[in-house]
Amino acid sequence: MIATILSIFSLFSSAMAAARERSFIMIKPDGVQRGLVGEIIKRFEQKGFKLVGLKFVWPTEDLLKKHYADLSDKPFFPALVKYMASGPVVPMVWEGLNVVKTGRVMLGATNPADSAPGTIRGDLCIQMGRNICHGSDSVESAKKEINLWFTEKEVVGWAPANDCWVYED
């Protein structure tokens, strides 16, 4: 009996832990300039993901170089940093079950020319160097990116009233 209760509890708690996965999603300067902030937020909100962090900032090149450190040896790196520093961006933290992987699916391929219709990049942009939105590519990089862009206090845990209509018990 106790074992059953414990195993149900552990199933429940692991499902709840999985539902607390977080991804760093950022609307890039072109997304802001083109008035796509609401459209991109709408897609994550309507999917059922939970917004737990959001800000509006004009990022420094220094911050962007850290954000894209893995790409620093690529030939397109200087242009990437210049584009990303060209105006304000909307960094966000979204939470939910498999949000990192699903967030990438919702974004579409890096090159909008290869992004399927129905995806953010597939529907809303044309070129790789103006692909309007960033999304973490792994849970590990999401953690790094969230720590880079947000302080602990700026990420806010809360319980949406409709949780039980988004997730099974």
- Catalytic pick from 43, 134, 135, 136? 134
Interacting residue ranges for Mg ion, rule: CB under 5 A: 137
For ligand DAT, the binding residue among 27, 37, 54, 80 (CB under 6 A) is 80
What does the H/E/C string look like for the chain?
A: CHHHHHHHHHHHHHHHHHCCCEEEEEECHHHHHCCCHHHHHHHHHHHCCEEEEECCECCCHHHHHHHCHHHCCCCCHHHHHHHHCCCCEEEEEEECCCHHHHHHHHHCCCCHHHCCCCCHHHHHCCCHHHCCEEECCCHHHHHHHHHHHCCHHHCCCCCCCCHHHHCCC
Chain residue at closest Cβ approach to ligand DAT: 110
Kindly tell me which of 129 and 160 has the beta carbon lying closer to ligand DAT: 129
Active site residue 67: no
Whether residue 162 is annotated as binding a ligand: the answer is: no
Least distance (Å) between residue 138 CB and Mg ion? 9
Residue selected from 86, 137, 139, 166 as contacting ligand DAT according to rule CB under 6 A: 137
Please list every residue from 109 through 128 that binds ligand DAT, using CB under 6 A.
110, 128
Residues that bind ligand DAT (CB under 6 A): 71, 76, 80, 110, 128-129, 131, 134, 137
> Catalytic amino acids?
134
List, as residue ranges, the binding site for ATP: 28, 76, 104, 110, 121, 131
